[in-house]
Chains A and B, each alone.
Chain A
């Protein structure tokens, strides 16, 4: 007889689970306790006890279901990575305030209401964070292919129907929504490829060729845009994923050099980009031309002093102070110490992400956190170094702070995913059949 359908046992398990608030752990707990009860019953039956009696004995031996439930609830209390949330939150608030000041003081002029748009993105992002926190991220894994194909299709659509010259900023208008889609694609590919990589067997050559094929398609689209900065971030995501998933060295080399050659080829055959590349090594060689922004930016940062110049930023000296050059504006206004504080917050945030990546046991979650972290790391690092002329000037904003509704939204979604992963990292495994078990 199947004990699973025994009324007394069912009642017992339901009472235990009713004490545990977090529903996702109910099924594993039920399964585990049911096996235990079955074991006791089986043993009693072998000693000649009747079924009904054996079940009663088993339930007594298990103990008060309410007490067991309460104790289980205590161990499975939902956990929030408050550090991560607080660091990201303070950067977001700083960004929002900056946009407000820039807009109301007239330093940045735009046809669109920047602050309101930022604020709406923030609200939408908050909803996503809360939603994702309660959502089991593992359910996304089976949609990895769909996310990949969807992203590629949307990129093609943006290329066909979008407006704008510079790839990163091609804008696709759908109704009242204006999307600069290319900038968020590295995040989407990170999510999709984490799922695909965690499922594919690295030892099988055919699987690897398939993976390499999947890696190259986005690069082609980035170059068609062209959006070199996004392509570079994407390549770093790919490199991180290959490294983190333990691919063989030859495959890592193949997976990187191929796309990299494509990117470099595009840079070299385009005189404008070539100029950028030369400026990278010496922005001061052309201070009035392609090096202007960085030379000016460095000048502003130098003149900031420890405590800043206050709200005296000269109008029309530097473009893009609400996007790529927002760090320059903040340092100029609030001083070097404020700049250091922002850097410290960014470093602390990335460290917390890396720590999370090391804590999680689930391969999919580990790949996802690692690859998303690499995006944040590159964006912070590149943007800040760009403002002091140590990295080439490209369309890479300061995460959470630079004005960009779509970036802010996807970055907050990434934080939501990490909170979801953190919350679930401790329940190792669900019953076999749901996920592959790993007997050792």
Chain B
């Protein structure tokens, strides 16, 4: 099923932070992980991931560091820091409230039909 773009946009930050909580990752890996865990529902233009990552870095939610791997490919890794973790918790709680509210309303709707 194709998911509305705005919906993806609104939830992408929480997905990114959630992934980074497991381990530091670089952009490509992050996209692969999100795709894998969401069953391919969340797929978007991959270039647009970087503006989001960079603003998360600027806001101090994540920290970036470069590594040089064999084959001289330079990778920029992102790591979740305390501020991002707190933000993630907050967003998760918000999401649970939101989801259960939507579930409730939709559930009622189904009952009425």
User: A: which residues have CB within 8 A of B?
Assistant: 16, 28-29, 31-33, 35-36, 38-40, 61-65, 67-68, 71-72, 74-76, 359, 361, 426-433, 437-440
Contacts and interface: CB of A to CB of B under 8 A. Distances in A.
Contacts of A361: 63
Contacts of A429: 64-66, 76
Interface string B51-74: 100110110100111111000011
Contacts of A440: 24, 65, 79
Contacts of A35: 26-28, 73-76
Contact of A68 (B26, B28, B48): B48
B65 A72 contact: no
Interface of B: 24, 26-28, 44-48, 50-51, 54-55, 57-58, 60, 63-68, 73-77, 79
Contact of A428 (B27, B28, B50, B65): B65
A65 B77 CA distance: 22
Nearest to A73: B51
A433 B28 contact: no
Nearest to A28: B76
Contacts of A438: 65
A29 B57 contact: no
A107 B27 CA distance: 66
Contact of B74 (A61, A427, A428, A431): A431
Which 7 A/B pairs are nearest by Cβ-Cβ distance?
A: A63-B45, A71-B51, A68-B47, A426-B58, A62-B47, A432-B66, A39-B28
B66 A33 contact: no
Contacts of A31: 74, 76
B74 A433 contact: yes
26 contacts: A31-B76, A33-B50, A35-B26, A35-B28, A35-B75, A35-B76, A39-B28, A63-B47, A64-B47, A67-B45, A67-B48, A68-B45, A68-B50, A72-B51, A72-B54, A75-B58, A426-B58, A428-B57, A429-B66, A430-B66, A431-B66, A431-B76, A432-B66, A438-B65, A440-B65, A440-B79
A28 B46 CA distance: 17
A17 B89 CA distance: 34
B27 A32 contact: yes
Contacts of A68: 45, 47-48, 50-51
Interface centre among B46, B58, B60 (most CB of A within 10 A): B46
Contact of A36 (B46, B64, B77): B46
Nearest to B27: A36
Given A35-B74, A72-B54, A428 B63 contact: yes
Nearest to B51: A71
A319 B8 CA distance: 70
B37 to A, nearest CB: 18
A432 B74 contact: yes
Q: Which of B44, B66, B79 has the most CB of A within 10 A?
A: B66
B69 to A, nearest CB: 10
Contacts of A76: 54
Contacts of B75: 35
Given A35-B76, A63-B47, A428-B57, 6 more contacts: A36-B27, A428-B64, A432-B74, A433-B68, A437-B66, A440-B65
Contacts of B51: 68, 71-72, 74-75
B78 to A, nearest CB: 9
A64 to B, nearest CB: 7
A64 B73 contact: no
Contacts of A33: 47, 50
A103 B12 CA distance: 63
Contacts of B58: 75, 426-427
A432 B74 CA distance: 7
Given A33-B50, A440-B79, A61 B68 contact: no
A426 B27 CA distance: 18
Given A31-B76, A40-B28, A431-B74, A71 B67 contact: no
A62 B46 CA distance: 5
Nearest to A39: B28
B57 A426 contact: yes
Contacts of B54: 72, 75-76, 427
A437 B76 CA distance: 10
Contacts of A74: 51
